[in-house]
Amino acid sequence: MADDSGLSFSFPAIHRRKVTAAFDGGRLTSDGGVLLLAQAERRLGIAARLAVCIADPRDQSRVVHSLADILRARMLAISCGYEDADDLDTLRHDPGFKLALGKLPDGLVGLASQPTMSRWENAPTTRELARLTGTLVDLYCASYPAPPVAVTLDIDDTVDVVHGMQQLSFWNGHHGERCFLPIHVYDTATGRPVAMLLRTGKTPSGAEVAAHIRRLVRRIRRHWPDTRITLRGDGHYGRPEPMRWCEENGIDYVFGLPGNTTLHADPIITTEADACATDRATGGLVELRRYTETRYAAKSWGDHKRRVAARIEASPLGLDIRFVVTSLTSGSAEYIYDTLYCARGQAENLIKLHKAQLKSDRTSCRSANANQMRIILHTAAYWLMWAVRQAMPANTPLRTAEFTTIRLRLLKLGARVIENASRIRVAFASACPEAALFRTISLNLRAAGP
């Protein structure tokens, strides 16, 4: 098919003057903010870190695009909203993206094409993917200037619906879909991603959860041997195997605990629940909350009783009782449930940034390894967006904005790229609403960079 992008077309006349248009403006980019992402990438060094984990069998004397540049172009494109590799067939000649990868905008050689991107998505072996995942954990630890005294990590899984017979896809009766259930781990207090792992579409077993936690914590302990680590998760993770491993290795936990007849019949729980229901009714209240705690051991736990905090809510609809199990010995039941456990809800927003706004659910490859590689690249793109957001002044409204808002306001900026013998000039629109913030972010990233 012939390229008709240069053909002109018209808009309604204004003041009796004809308005025509064509995509023939020359060296223009619609993603001027990619230069901010490039500064963030240079500061974090993600592409180079990931590239050394993958074997490159090519004859280096004939290589046009280094592996680091190929990965860098892919993560920059994902951050700018081009989640599909075939977008690179056009973007490879975009002057903004070429500048972001250190190439002259008028140079004859563009960036790597879609087939090259796809080949490298399918290239890493299982062992290399493990190294890549560990490198992202190392990046998380390196993002702190000094080892923190304590961190709380949220672990959760999310449904990733598939549309074929990809490896690891599985029918999940709860979601009613054939899907993956990848595990996400975040440092929710700061919004940092820690680790993402593609896995089959069934609920993880206790042994599987314990194995994932063991590998993650051991990697973190290489950097932070004395940091106090607390794990938070829903009822999928409140299994005896992960709790036992955490207790044996000095890791605190707060996990959701599904209710059962034994817990609901516990004398402490029933006494507090009856009092809560009575006080609500006699006081004429719409709803009333109380908190209490007990010691409990399920059959699968053996004889070891653990601390269980309960939130009891009485309303006209009846009693609603929720439980969490924890290794923490300090803090009231109200603090454990309301302040500590309920804060894990923020992890759902971080998963939304990763999955919905950076499109990490585009796991359509046949190979499970290729899909895991895509999740790694999308996590790298998350780091770039996070770094740009962190470079904003603390009182800026966009400092707490979602990635789609940041992309719209700071990345999707039209710019003309002017190249001459002595310099390259990027001319943004004079009426850009975020011009001052854009300049500040650029200066902050440059000052903090290598």
pLDDT of residue 1 exceeding 80: no
- Residue 316: the pLDDT is 92
H or E segment and range at residue 334 = helix 333-334
Task: Determine the Cα–Cα distance for residues 270 and 152; give it in Å rounded to an integer.
Answer: 32
Dump pLDDT digits (tens) for 402-450: 999 999 999 999 999 988 888 899 999 999 999 999 999 999 998 755 4
Using H for helix, E for strand and C for coil, what is the string for 220-253?
A: HHHHCCCCEEEEEECCCCCCHHHHHHHHHCCCEE
Q: Which residues pair with 450 in a beta bridge?
A: none
Chain segment 199-218, per-residue pLDDT in tens: 999 988 999 999 999 999 99
What per-residue confidence (pLDDT) applies to 17?
A: 86
Would you say the C-alpha torsion 218, 222, 228, 234 has a positive or negative sign? negative
Confidence band, pLDDT 50/70/90 cuts, at residue 2: very low
Of 351 and 7, the structure prediction assigns the larger pLDDT to 351
Per-residue pLDDT reduced to its tens digit, 24-58: 777 889 999 999 999 999 999 999 999 999 999 99
Cα–Cα distance for residue pair 387/67, rounded to 1 Å: 22
Going by pLDDT thresholds of 50, 70 and 90, the confidence category of residue 11 is confident
Cβ-in-10-Å burial (0-12, 13-18, 19+) of 110 comes to buried
CA-closest candidate to residue 354, choices 183, 143, 142, 141: 183
For tokens 């695009």, what's the residue?
65
Residue 265 three-state SS: coil
Give the pLDDT score at 3.
Answer: 55
Instruction: Output the CA torsion sign for 122, 123, 129, 135.
Output: negative
- For 267-314, how does the pLDDT look when each residue is reduced to its tens digit (9 = 90+)? 999 999 999 999 999 999 999 999 999 999 998 898 889 999 999 999
Mean pLDDT is lowest, of 11-25, 322-336, 394-408, for 11-25
Phi, psi of 254 (to 5 degrees): -135, 105
- 326 pLDDT more than 90: yes
In this predicted structure, what is the pLDDT of residue 211? 96
Per the listing, tokens 């240069």 go with 6
Give the predicted TM-score (pTM) of the model: 0.93
